[in-house]
């Protein structure tokens, strides 16, 4: 999957999550993330900092 396709897919995921999550949660933890790659059944998401990565891994891993 190309980087631009990964970004498009992630934008669609964010759209769905925005409807499901409380606004403050989405704004704080997901709004600034980006889909950057998909390889070997792994979707790679970039987050703005390590604290956000840790939060997403703990709280959103199974939902994503």
Query: What pairs with residue 38 in β-bridges?
Result: 43
pLDDT tens per residue, range 3-58 = 678 999 999 999 999 999 999 999 999 999 999 998 888 899 999 999 999 999 99
pLDDT at 45: 94
Instruction: Determine the 3-state secondary structure of 46 from DSSP.
Output: strand
**Please, are residues 41 and 3 in contact by the beta-carbon 8 Å criterion?**
no
Q: Does 55 or 1 have the greater pLDDT score?
A: 55
Instruction: Determine the 3-state secondary structure of 22 from DSSP.
Output: coil
pLDDT at 39: 85
State the Cα–Cα distance between residues 38 and 22, nearest whole angstrom.
27
State the Cα–Cα distance between residues 51 and 20, nearest whole angstrom.
22
Instruction: Give the pTM.
Output: 0.82
Structure tokens at 52: 């956000």
Could you give the domains of the chain?
A: 3-59 (3.30.300.180)
């Amino acid at each position: 999957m190309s980087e631009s396709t990964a970004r498009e897919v992630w934008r669609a995921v964010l759209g769905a999550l925005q409807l499901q999550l409380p606004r403050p949660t989405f704004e704080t933890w997901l709004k600034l993330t980006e889909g950057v790659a998909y390889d070997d059944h792994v979707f790679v998401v970039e987050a703005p900092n390590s604290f956000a990565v840790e939060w997403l891994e703990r709280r959103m891993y199974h939902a994503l």
